[in-house]
Structures are given as structure tokens and as C-alpha cells.
Structure 1
Amino acid sequence: MFTFLVRLFALIGFLIVAGVVTGVWLYWRSEPSLPDTIVLELDFERPMVEAAGGGLDSLIGHSDATLRDVLDAVERGRTDPRVKGLVARFGGDTMGFAQAQEIRTAIDRFRATGRFAIAYADSFGESGAGNRSYMLASAFDEVWLQPLGIVSLTGLSAQIPFLRTALDELGVRPQFEQREEYKSFAEMLTRSDFTPAHREMMESLIGDLTGQIADAVARSRRMAVAEVRGLIDRAPLMDGEALAARLIDRIGYRDEAVAEAVRRSGGAELVDLLDYLAIAGPVHAEGPTIALIHAVGTITRGSDEREALDPLNATAERLVGALEEAAEDPTVVAAILRIDSGGGSVAASESIRRAVVKLREAGKPVVVSMGDTAASGGYWIAMNADRILASPATFTGSIGVVAGKVSGAALSQRLGVNWGVVEVGRNAGMWSPARPFNESHEERLNALIDASYKAFLDKVAEARRLSPEQVHDAARGRVWTGTQALRLGLVDELGDQERAIAIARELAKLAPDAPVTLTPFPPPKSTLDELLDLASGRGELIQGARTLAALKPLADMARPLLAALNAEPRMVMTPTGLR
């Protein structure tokens, strides 16, 4: 009781202070307006996420731009007579391939209206690759590079750590079964190098993506594809080399690029992308509702604690709830399921897939828009949609199952740790990391994997209207790019989110130009909701998650190993290690 009262009074005090601060802020920002002529300013060095989190992030100034923000602002700007052009800052490869391709398409539409677009970079990748960054920048009609900057259009590299030798030294024994040869998720633990199938898959992925980069740059810079491939082999290129090779248009500083944008606009004012969007408003904000549901990250069954840590997580609890809410909402005429997930739990994926089916049965079409990744369990939750769209660079497929565990029995013995065991049931200790699988355990493990894999194949065949032979050719655990998946029948077409909205209109029997309201389901948490979480004690989880966000690169590297400790059958995409 005392703890509750302390939190209650702390909340009241916080609300008073927040109210005063908000009042001052609102007064200062009262009746915001936009200049008569505008040059939009974008910063692609700024972190960009798939979708917005909670309201508290915005209040304390930790709100990142979302992909939807960028697309909305560019789409709004191309029809706004005040907007004359845009200038964007680039740097390293901070976004995914599919995200870069979606924004390229938006820039193409923007420029098609006669507006200009200027790209500027201190360096397109300085101590790392700049492939995605430059591929996007090449869609602009002018590309500027600072003196002494480089264009690190170096091509792609896949670097995957294989830990088997290190684990053997430690006395740790990984035991995994997979279906089939390309389902190589666990091979980083069980092997010391690529298998022939794993290497073949990676070479195919890198080859296809490299071709997409070369084609995009060649098209935008009016060069031959062979010429671009030759430049990739020479890169990184210094400023003068890049200018001579026609990869850039000018060598100059940021202030000079901005001055050129202002000159071309006839003296317009620079307006930050997020500020412009906040005042001008999103593009799709009137008319019947299309529910936008994000499935981002590892697919899990879910819990309240995980919801507090990550409001955009791909838990079955959150996604099933969102899909059911869309089914019950009379204003919703269709749904777009935006997926950026490499998979996860079999059970959770099936729960989400079932909710997609139920939403369709409620008379509301579902369009899947695949982001950077929609593979394994990410493909499972997509396959029953009315229409599936991918970007050319989307990683998808990975139709297969892997399961097993890491046993530390030898390490325990080395450390002098003895495990006393009391159990009833032949397989009671099957998932224990204290000892390896025995024959009975392995029989049950393989039965589980076989059942899950057969269900995966059967459901894909039914949902995509493919023969068993076609599904098997597309499956075997193999990861495909969106371009490859289209040829295999795993997706219906290549397209961005604007195309997904157009298809949703069509399936909902709306006119092609009918206005629609694109609404997140569930809506992002309000500031008040997050404050109540703080008062209830869940705020410690929220704050802890935000502190740990700084360690995300390390967490991304460790995630495959951590996931391996979960012994249930999993549908998880093979790590690509692309750089």
C-alpha cells in the first residue's frame, strides 16, 4: 500500500510538471503554419524504424522517424504546391534494402511531378559499406559528396560466425535437427563452416541483391549495368574518382548543397520532414478505414511484460488482438499486415495465421506488405492473405523448421558441477540443458519437427494454390529474395506500401482514387497510458528496455545463440550476416 501511494503521488507530481511543460510547448507551437514555398529536408543518418512506438517517447524527445513518416511526407509533398523540392543527407547503411527500395520508389514519384531532389553525403560509407545508402541516393537528380568523402559502393559480403570449435573447447554440445538442407539457422552452432547448400543459398542471395543494386544505380545514373559492376569492383572510390565515374554530380559541402536547393526553389524555406508532416498531416487520413497492423521482430506467444518492453513486438497476443479488433470494427474495410520478421515460435505463428483467416472470413480482405524480412514464421503468418506483396530485396521463404538444444553436460563436469536428477516419465528431462538428448528424446524431437514441417508444406500448398512439388521446390528451408519468390509463386507481386493500399482499395471494392484512412491497429500507446505503466511499476521494464536499446547491435549478434537455447520447434530464418 505504501509503495502504491508513493507511486501515485509521484505520478501526480509528474503529471503537473508535464502539464505545465506541455502547456508552454503548445502555447509556443500554437497555430503552426508552413511557409509559402518549401524545400523538405530529410536526414537519412537519423534512426528510422518501421512504425511508431508509444507517446512517452515523443514527449521526452526520443521519437525516431518511421518509414511510414518518410513515405507519407514525400507523398504529401509531391502534391503540395508549396513544396518545390527536397534535400537529403546520407551516410552509412543505416536502413534495410527493402526500406531503401520503397523510399526510392517514393522519390521517383516525387520527381515525376517536376520537383527536384538533391542528395548530399559527407561520405557514402566511410569505415564501412555504403551500398544501400548510395543506391537510394542515386534516385535523386543531383548527388553531392563532400571533399575527401568516398563512395563505398563495394558490393556485398556475408559474414557468419561458426561457433562449433569454440563450443567444443568449452564442453558445450549443440544438438539440433532441421528440415531441410537449406534450413541452416543452427549450423552456426553445429558446424565450423558453410555446408555446400548453405553456401549456395548465400551466393544466390548476394548475387541477386548485387544485381538489384547495379540495375538500380545504372537506371538512375543512365549507365550500363556492366559499367556499374566494374565500379563496384573498384570501390571505395575517392571524391574525384566518383565524379569522373559519374556516380556523383558535384563535390561540395553541405551548406553549398543546401544553398543550391534554396536557389533552385526560388528562395524557399527549409522545413524538416517530421515538422512538415506534423503540420500538413498524413496522406491517408479520410474515408473508410484500412487497418495497418505491424508484425516486427521475433514471433512469440507473448506476455504483458514483453508488450511493455516493445510496443511493436510480433507477439501472438498483440497481433491476434489487433486482427480481431479490425474484424469487429465496422469502419474497417480492409487490412494491411506489414511484416518485418524472420520468424519464431511455431505455435505463435499458427495463432496469428488463424486470426488472418478469421479476418478474411469476416469479409475484410487482407493484404500483406513485406518489409526487409518476412521469412519462416514471418512467411507462415503471411501465406493466407488475399494478396502478398514484397520488395525485390525482401528476404522471404525459409519454409522449414529447426529444433534442438545446447547441452552443457561436459562443461558442468569440467567445472565440477554435478546435477542431481529426480523425474517421472521417459522424456521428462528432454529439454534440460544439463544433459544431451538420448534416443527416446531424439525420436520425439524428430516427430515434432516432421509434423511441423509437413503442416508448413501443406498449408503453403493450400493457401498459395501450389502443387506439392512446387512447394517442395520453394521450401527446403531456403531463403529467397522477393524477386526470386515471385517466380516461385510465394508472393503475388513486387510493390511498396502505396501499392498495397491501392490493392486494399480494390479488394474492398472502392474506387481507385477513393480517399482512405490508414489507421494503426492497435493504436500506439498514448503518453497517459505509458505514464500509468510507470505508476504501476511496468515503467521499470520500459526504462530498462530503452537503456538496453544502446546495446542493440550486440544483442542482434547474440540473438541467434540466445534463441537456440529455446528448445521448442522454431521457424526462424537463417542469419545472412550481410554487410
Structure 2
Amino acid sequence: MRIVRFFVRLFATIGFLMVAGAVTVVVLAVRHEPALPDAVVLDLDLSKPLSESEGGKLGGLFEHQATLREALDALDRGRRDPRVKGVLARFGDDSIGFAQTQELRTAIERFRASGRFAVAFAEEYGGAGPGNRSYLLASAFDDVWLQPLGTLGLTGLSAELPFAREAFDMLGVQPQFMQREEYKSFAETFMRSGMTPANREMTEALVADLTGQLVDGVAKSRRLAPAAVRAAMDKAPLLSREALDQKLVDHLGYADEARDAALKRAGAGAETVEPADYLSVAGGPNDKGPTIALIHAVGTITGGKSETPALGEVAAGSETIVEAIEEAADDPDVRAILFRIDSGGGSVSASEAIRRALVKAREKGKPVIASMGDATASGGYWIALAADRIVASPATVTGSIGVVAGKFGVNGLSEKLGIHWERVQSARNAGLWSPLHPFDDSGAERLNAIIDDTYATFLQRVADARRMTPEQARGIAKGRVWTGAQARDLGLVDDLGGQDQALALARTAAGLAADAEVTLAPYPPPKSVTDQLFDLMAGKGELVGALAAVAELRPLLAQLRPLMAAVQGEGVQARMPAMSLDR
């Protein structure tokens, strides 16, 4: 029987490889490398999210996964290419984050400053949801189109925070969490029925600062008074004719009309070309010269491997990230490390492992520049502290310097279900993390000791890295969340800007000119198609996960992950609070 099973598996494997190879050949044949026309209009799809890092290439064979880096590279390379005359971008809802929006605005402004045009089109800026970030980015274009009967959802920002204590009480579930300090509001979602004064103060300040950035950005780009933008915001969603009358858009028309207008501006023979196709022929702006390693920490910081599950939340695994840092530190060709972070935090121990790897890289002579994405808070800020310089976008959500730990007691729910648990243990705190019993006095004392020690260490890390006293660090900590602009004023970050600003600083730190040609190399490099096929055969990898999942459940599971982490006892956490902005 073993021999029979062996041959069955062998022929199944051969058959799979033949089918996979045929599919790969067909797809690659269809997606041939294009030739560029003499007049190019870059065709940007900004109606969908842009991932921070490149995913696996196997999924990309069937549907291209656009990244922020790809969009930035196409605009940067295009503004230096005489064949590129302009850009045409499509917009929709607020699928792109606030900090990413600001990075792209800066790239569009540089693109236009080179003498090229930029046309924006949307059927609706927002539609049934808000369109604040979508329109903020579109306003940086010199020609803004809106489809007739479309709306402009410049409705302003709001923050919605869930409070589930009453639901847990009805279920017989007892949340038990301890935090440091009053602004560390992550656990309030489970512990309370409403906002504390500190939480409300922090949230109102955050919304006010981001709203100011939104208003100022639109006013500057559209050459309007901030008061006029706020007046429009109070009336929004605006009808298409209202948006035109208030000079927020330039034309009412359809997608084909906007496209024809862009091609006409580009000249005879012009064609639209997608960024991936353009870069595959023209080459990227950062693919020759000394090497700067690009390392990402995206998602919840955990131990183990980084992963992009089909369901749930992206994990920034300390094992994967530490290996990437060590590989870059040991590579003699690498002159500096650009460390891109987009994380609201996670495991303290995993964050410390990443921080330590960055410290060792610097000790080996590799400068580290941290670039903050939409969120670099709590554990995300912990790892940024190891950098030589920290760069944040004005709208980056950062800070949240605090600690939270605890668990959910489900003994009440268990009793309601008629299930009673007895326990036998060998030491006083053997059942500390069990969800079946609440913390006793000994367990609460131990947990408080751990939290106090962790928080003191966090404050000392901040004080040492940012050249403050522990008292100064605590004054701007206490778990409070700040925008990047606020954080710069408080001394928590060094510079305001996006990845390109961070890359210029990385060049300088490496002893190069700020505009020197460099090779921006991702560490670890994306997996090849062959590697992913072997992953697929082994029953792992992104495609297996996708086939085993229902994609619609992913946003829900991402929100539930903190709850599951607490039930499973993931230990001491450094996380930013749960908050839904721009709803």
C-alpha cells in the first residue's frame, strides 16, 4: 500500500506541476512586456488600496497587486522621462490611508513641477461613504473631473470607538485588563460602556489636527480660503454642480471624456500605460548604484514569521523581520537600511527583538532611517526608536507609548452553559492566563509588576533615543496617540515626509549625495514563482490560504483579532487603541 500511495502522490505532483507550468506560460504570454509609445500618460488606479510591500508573485500572475512604492517609483521615474507627458488617475472611496495620501500628494506635486500634467477622475469621491482622503489626493492634480450626478464626499472627519462592556456582561464574560496610563485606551473597548475624559480629549485633539491638515491641503491645492473649504465640508456631500460652482472640481464629465482630454494634452500618438508596465520597460528610479535595504514591518507585531493571511490581520513577525535586518547588516553591499513601519503595535517581546536587531545593525555600521506609514504607534513606535532618524507623514498616527495586558474570564459564560470547571495546580500562579478563572490577588500583583517594569523600560527607551529625561518622556507618553505633525513638535520624530524623504536621509547617512542613484533592494526579496509553487504543493502559502477563506470575513476578523489575542493570552501588549476614523 505504501508503494501505491507513493506513486499516487508522485503522479499527482507531476500532474500539478504540468498544469501549473502550463498556466504560468499562458499567463506570462498574455502579460508580455509592452513597448512604450513615444507619448505616455501614466494610468494610475487610486480607487483601490495600495499595499505597503510587494506580495508574492504567484497571486500577482492572475491579478496585479499595486503597491505604494510602485506608484511612487512610476511618478518619480516618469518626471525624468521625456516620453511621459502626464498622469491620469481614477479615484473612488477612501481606500488609501491618510499618510499614504500625503506621500502621493507630494509625488504628484513634484511630477507637476517637472512640467507635466495630472488629471484626476472619479464617478464619485466617496459615494456611499466618505471621500475626504480620496478628494484630498485628487485636489493635488491640476485638472479634477467628476462624473455628472456624482457626489463629492468632503464630509470631514469623525472617530467612532466601540464599547462592548454591556455585551460582555450579558454573555457572562469578564474582561480583566490593566494599562499604563490614562490615555492607553485599547482595553476600554472591552472594559467600559463609554469614553473616559482622557480618551475623549485625545480623540478630539487627533480629529481636530487631521481635519486641519485636510482643510489646509485642499485649500492650498485648489487656491481657496480655508474658511471656504470648511463651509463646503459642512454642506457635503456636494452634488456635482455644487462642487463645480465652489471650484472644488474643474470639469463635469465621464471617464472616456477625461481620458480623451488627457491624451489630447499628451499629443499625437499618446497612450495610457499602467505603472507596472511602464516600470518594466523604463526601469525604476532606484535600481542602480549603491544598495540601500528596504525592510517592512507591516501589521500587528508578533513572534514568528510574517504572514499575510487570507482572513484576519497582517502579521509583522519578529523572526522574519530580524532575519531580514541581520541579512542586510551582514551584506557588505548594503550602505544603509530604510525601515518602513506601518503597525499599531503588538507583542512587547517581539517588538524588543526587532529593536535589538536594528541596534546591532547600527553597531555594524549600517545607518537606519525609519519611515512611518499610516500608523506607527505603541509597539510600532518601540521599534522605530532604534533608528538614527525617524520620518513621519503629518497624518501618521503615532505615539501610544504605554502598555496593556489582561485576559477575558469566560467562567460566567461557562456556568450559563452548564459547564463547571475544577482546577488542580502545582504553584500559586500556574493558572495565571487561564480564561476560566479571574486573576486572584497573587496573579494581579504579578501582572502589575510586569506592566510596571515594561512601561518603565518603554519610557527609558524613549528617553535614551529621543534625548529626554524619563520625566519628559512620561509627560508626552501616558498612552496618548499623536499625529505625525504633533509628534514632531514634541520631539518624538525628527522629520516630516514620506519614503522619498526618508530615502534621501538614508543616502546622506550612507555618505552619498541626497539625490545620488541607489538600488533600493527589498529584504527579504519577494518569493519567486517557483518558490511559491513549492509552497502550494506543501499546503501553505498565500494561494492556499485564499482558497480556504471567505474574503468577505477578513475585515471582521481583523477587528476581532485583539479579542482573540486576549482570550488566548498573548501576554503583555503595546497596542494603539481601536478607532475607526473618517466614518
TM-score range, shorter chain: over 0.9
Q: Matches of 1:484 and 1:270 in 2, distance apart? A: 40
Indicate conservation of the 8 Å contact 1:32/1:279, yes or no: yes
- Contact kept, 8 Å, 2:68 with 2:100, in 1: the verdict is yes
Query: CA 1:464/1:179 → structure 2, altered by over 3 Å: closer, same or farther?
Result: same
Cα distance in structure 1, aligned partners of 2:17 and 2:499: 38
CA distance in 1, matches of 2:237, 2:306: 47
| 1:571 equivalent among 541, 554, 574 | 574
Deviation at residue 546 of structure 1 after TM alignment: 7.0
User: Which residue in the other structure is 1:44 paired with?
Assistant: 46
Query: 1:304: how far off?
Result: 8.3
- TM (normalized to structure 1)? 0.96
CA distance in 1, matches of 2:272, 2:558: 36
CA contact (8 A) 2:337 2:369 kept: yes
In structure 2, relative to structure 1, the CA distance for the partners of 1:296 and 1:29 (3 Å cut) is: closer
TM-score by length of 2: 0.95
3-state DSSP class of the match of 1:333?
strand
Q: Which runs of 5+ in 1 are unaligned?
A: none
Equivalent residues of 1:172, 1:410 under 8 A apart: yes
CA contact (8 A) 1:370 1:391 kept: yes
Aligned counterparts of 2:551 and 2:111: Cα–Cα separation in 1: 34
Q: How does 1:426-465 map to 2 (within 5 A)?
A: 426-465=428-467
Q: 1:577 offset after TM fit, Å? A: 1.2
Per-residue deviation at 1:8? 4.7
1:25-48 residue CA offsets vs partner (Å, 9 max, x unmatched): 555666631101111111112342
| Alignment-derived partner of residue 128 in structure 2 | 127
Tell me what 1:402 maps to. Answer: 404
Matched, 1:331 2:333: yes
Map 1:59-138 → 2, pairs under 5 A: 59=61, 61-138=62-139
2:283 paired residue among 281, 290, 293: 281
The more displaced of 7-16 and 208-217 is: 7-16
Q: CA 1:491 to 1:110, structure 2 compared with 1: closer, same or farther past 3 Å?
A: same
Tell me which amino acid in the other structure corresponds to 2:502: A
The change in CA–CA distance for 1:156 and 1:31 in structure 2 (over 3 A counts) is closer
CA distance in 1 between partners of 2:520 and 2:312 (Å): 22
Q: Secondary structure of the residue that 1:381 maps to in structure 2?
A: helix
Equivalent pair of 1:305/1:541 in contact (CA under 8 Å): no
Distance 1:70 1:105, change over 3 A: same
Aligned to 1:211: 212
Cα 1:26–1:444 change in 2 (3 A) is closer
Mapped pair 1:359 → 2:361 = yes
Q: Alpha-carbon deviations, 1:442-474, whole Å to 9, x = none?
A: 101100100000000011101111122221121
Aligned counterparts of 2:396 and 2:60: Cα–Cα separation in 1? 30
Which stretch has the larger CA shift, 544-553 or 210-219?
Answer: 544-553
Secondary structure at 1:406 match in 2: strand
Q: Which string of whole-angstrom CA distances, capped at 9 and with x for unpartnered residues, describes residues 498-554 of structure 1?
A: 111111110000123321000000001111111111222225984347734442221
- Provide, for residues 277-308 of structure 1, a one-character-per-residue CA deviation record: whole Å limited to 9, x for no partner: 22222210011110000000000111488899
SS of aligned partner of 2:580 = coil
Structure 2 counterpart of 1:55: 57
Residue identity matched to 2:574:
M
- Counterpart CA distance in 2 for 1:291 and 1:68 is 14
Contact preservation (8 Å) 1:295, 1:339: yes
Identify if the C-alpha distance between structure 1 residues 159 and 7 changes in structure 2 by more than 3 Å, giving closer, same or farther.
Answer: farther
**Unaligned ranges ≥5, structure 2:** none
Does the 8 Å CA contact 1:308/1:538 hold for their aligned counterparts? Answer: no
Map 1:167-182; keep pairs closer than 5 Å: 167-182=168-183
- Aligned partner of residue 565 in structure 1, secondary structure: helix
SS of residue matched to 1:282: coil
Correspondence for 1:345:
347
State which of 409, 413, 416 in structure 1 corresponds to 2:415: 413
Opposite residue 507 of structure 1, the aligned amino acid is A
Quick one: distance in 2 between partners of 1:65 and 1:4? Answer: 41
Secondary structure of the residue that 1:48 maps to in structure 2? Answer: coil
What letter is aligned with 1:413?
A: E
Aligned in 2, Cα 1:63/1:8: closer, same or farther, shift over 3 Å? farther
Q: Deviations over 1:141-166 (max 9, x none)?
A: 01110010001100111111100011
Instruction: Report which stretch shifted further, 410-419 or 546-555.
Output: 546-555
Bigger Cα displacement from structure 2, 323-332 vs 527-536: 527-536
Measure how far apart 1:343 and its partner are: 0.5
Q: Is it true that 1:373 corresponds to 2:375 in the alignment?
A: yes
Is the contact made by 1:47 and 1:64 (CA closer than 8 Å) also made in structure 2?
no
Three-state SS of the structure 1 residue aligned to 2:301 is: strand
Change (3 A) 1:31 1:577: closer
Aligned to 1:232: 233
SS of 1:336's equivalent in the other structure is strand
CA distance in 2 between counterparts of 1:545 and 1:68 reads 27
Partner of 1:262: 263
Measure the CA separation in 1 of the matches of 2:312 and 2:331.
25
Amino acid at match of 2:380: G
Residue aligning to 2:469: 467
CA contact (8 A) 1:7 1:535 kept: no
Letter in 2 for 1:572: R
Whole-angstrom distance in 1 between the partners of 2:167 and 2:311 = 32
CA distance in 2, matches of 1:3, 1:201: 63
The verdict on how the C-alpha distance between 1:8 and 1:343 changes in structure 2, with shifts beyond 3 A counting, is farther
Q: For the structure 1 residues 146 and 291, does the alpha-carbon distance in structure 2 shift closer, same or farther, using more than 3 Å as the test?
A: same
The farther-off stretch of 381-390 and 536-545 is 536-545
Contact 2:218–2:229, Cα closer than 8 Å, also in 1: yes
Q: What is the aligned partner in structure 1 of residue 385 from structure 2?
A: 383
Task: Determine if the alignment matches structure 1 residue 165 to structure 2 residue 166.
Answer: yes
Q: Verify the 8 A CA contact 1:389 1:492 in the aligned structure 2.
A: yes
Give deviations 1:245-284, integer Å, cap 9, x for gaps. 1110111111111111011111311112222122222210
Q: Is the 8 A contact 1:186 1:564 kept in 2?
A: no
Q: Distance in 2 between matches of 1:526 and 1:164?
A: 47
* Deviation by residue 1:33-85 (Cα, 9 ceiling, x = unmatched): 110111111111234211111121122x1331000010011111111100101
In the TM superposition, residue 559 of structure 1 has moved relative to its aligned partner by 2.6
Question: Which residue of 2 is the match for residue 143 of structure 1?
Answer: 144
AA in 2 matched with 1:483: A
Structure 2 residue corresponding to 1:488, chosen from 474, 490, 505: 490
Tell me if structure 2 keeps the 8 A contact 1:11–1:531: no
- Specify the SS of the correspondent of 2:300: strand
Deviations along 1:326-379, whole A, 9 cap, x unmatched? 011111000011000001001000000000000000001000000001000000
- 1:6 shift after superposition: 4.7
Deviation of residue 558 (structure 1)? 1.8
Question: Does 1:299 find its partner at 2:301?
Answer: yes
CA distance in 2, matches of 1:102, 1:157: 22
The answer on 1:189 being equivalent to 2:190 is yes
Shift of 1:318: 0.4
Q: Aligned residues, how many?
A: 578
CA deviation vs aligned residue, 1:203-261 (integer Å, no higher than 9, x gap): 01000000000000000000111111111111110001111111101111111111110
Equivalent residues of 1:311, 1:524 under 8 A apart? no
Matched-pair contact (CA < 8 Å) for 2:310–2:554: no
SS at match of 2:133: helix
- 1:391-420 CA distances to partner (integer Å, 9 max, x unpaired)? 000011100000011101111111110112
Distance 1:73 1:306 in 2: 25
